[in-house]
A = this chain, B = another copy of it.
Amino acid sequence: MRDVCIIGAYETKHGSFKERSLRDLITEAGNGAIRDSRMDRKEIQAVYVGNYAGNEFNGQNTIGSLAATILGLGDKPAIRFEGACASGGIAVRQAYWAVATGQYDTVLALGVEKMNGLDPNGTMQVVSRGQDQDFEGGFCISGPSGFALNAVRHMHEFGTTKEQMGMIAEKNYYHGSLNPFAHKQKTLTLERIIKAPMISYPFGLHDVSLVTDASAAVVITTMDRAKGIRDKLVKIAGSGQGGDYFTSAMKESSVSFSASVRAAKEAYAMAGATASDIDVLECHDCFTVTEIINIEDLGFVEKGRGGPFTAEGHTRLGGKIPVNTSGGLKAKGHPIGATGVGQVVEMTFQLRDESEGRQVKNAKTAMTHVLGGPGAVSIVHILKRVEK
C-alpha cells in the first residue's frame, strides 16, 4: 500500500441555480481541482464520479463518462458510483484505494448533483428512491419522516431536546455564514429555528438539509508524486466503509447508525488514531439529529451525550472539536452526489490553513463522514497534514 494524498481540491458555489447546467458545474469543479493540484491534466489516469440520480434530475445518466469527456479525459477509465447520499464518499474511497494499491497513480474523484429543476414533489420522489421502496417508500416513510423516528427515539432514551437539535442548525448556519461557497450564508436565531413550520415532528424547516446544486472534486495521487508540489500535503491516513440494512425495521438500533460505527472503526484502525486525535470534523447532518447521533457514533462523545455536548458549544468554531465548519448539509447544502467529495474539499482547505474566516487553528487531523440510504452506507476518511 502506497501513501496517498489529496493534491488538488475545489468545489463550486452551492445554491439553487436556474442558469447552470450539470455540464457547467462539472466543468468548474473538475478543472478547479486539476488547477489546484498543479499537475498536468494528462497525469490523471481515471475519473471516478459520485452522482445519485442525474438521470432523473437532469435526464443524464452515466455521468462518469460525461465528466471524463467534459474534462478532456474521455480516453481514461471512468466510473460512476452510487450509494444514495454517500455516493461522493464512495467515489473518494474507491479512488483512494485505486491509488494506494497501484491500479492508477492519479485519479480525479468528482461529485455532482443538480437537484433543483423538478417541482418539490418530484424532488422528494427522486430522493426517496434511495430508501427501500417496497417496505418504506411505498408507505410514505421519506427521508424526513424516517430520520424523525430516530429523533423521537433519541429524545425518549436520552432526553435529547428540540432545542439541542436547533442548536445544531444555529451553529451550522453560523459556520455557513462564514463560507462564501455555502448555499445559505446567513445566521438564524435559535428561536426562529425552533418556531419554524413543522416538516415531520420533531423536525421543523431548519432541522432539514437543503436541496442544492453543486459539484466538488479532488485530485488523489501518491505521496511520492505530491512531495515536490506543495509544502503542506493532506494525506489520506484512514478510509472506511460500513454497511447496514437498507430497511429501517431490520436495523439493530434507532439511536445509532451501525454503518457509521463500522466505517469509523475501519478508518481509525488504518490511521492508528482515535477520536481524541481529530481536530475538525465534517459529518453528515442531513437532519439536525443526525449530527447529534454522528458525534456519538464516531466516538467524540458517549452515546446519548450528543445533545448536551452540542449545547455546551464544543462543536462550534473555537470549541473542542469544531463540526461542519463549512456549514454542513444544513447551510453549505446537500447536493447529494457532491456532498461526500465537498467534505473532503473543506477538510483539505482546513488542513492547508486556507479556510479564511472559519479556519480551525492548528488543525492537523480531520475526519469526513457521510451516511446514505438511509443509514445503510457510511464512508469515513481521516486526513492528516504532512509538512515538509
Contact = CB atoms under 8 A, between A and B. Distances in A.
Contacts of A247: 69, 74
Contact of A65 (B59, B75, B83, B262): B83
Nearest to A78: B243
A377 B103 CA distance: 17
B74 A376 contact: yes
A374 B140 CA distance: 37
A131 B65 CA distance: 9
A59 to B, nearest CB: 5
A297 interface: no
Contact of A59 (B83, B129, B250): B129
Given A62-B376, A65-B83, A244 B129 contact: no
A64 B77 contact: no
Nearest to A245: B74
Given A55-B56, A97-B101, A376-B69, A62 B82 contact: yes
Interface in A55-89: 55-56, 58-62, 64-66, 68-69, 73-84
A52 to B, nearest CB: 7
Contacts of A131: 62
A244 B46 CA distance: 11
The size class of the interface chain A forms with chain B is: 35 or more
A222 to B, nearest CB: 15
A90 interface: yes
Interface string A233-257: 0000000011111110010000000
Contact of A62 (B23, B58, B74, B84): B84
Interface centre among A46, A47, A61, A75 (most CB of B within 10 A): A61
A145 interface: no
Contacts of A157: none
A94 interface: yes
Given A65-B373, A74-B250, A132-B66, A82 B80 contact: yes
Nearest to A63: B82
Interface in A357-387: 372-373, 376-377
A61 B53 contact: yes
Top 8 A-B residue pairs of the complex, sorted by shortest distance between their CB atoms: A74-B245, A65-B376, A61-B129, A69-B246, A77-B241, A65-B246, A101-B101, A62-B84
Given A78-B243, A79-B82, 6 more contacts: A60-B133, A61-B84, A65-B83, A74-B376, A78-B83, A79-B83
11 contacts: A59-B133, A62-B130, A62-B376, A65-B377, A74-B247, A74-B250, A75-B243, A77-B243, A78-B83, A82-B82, A97-B98
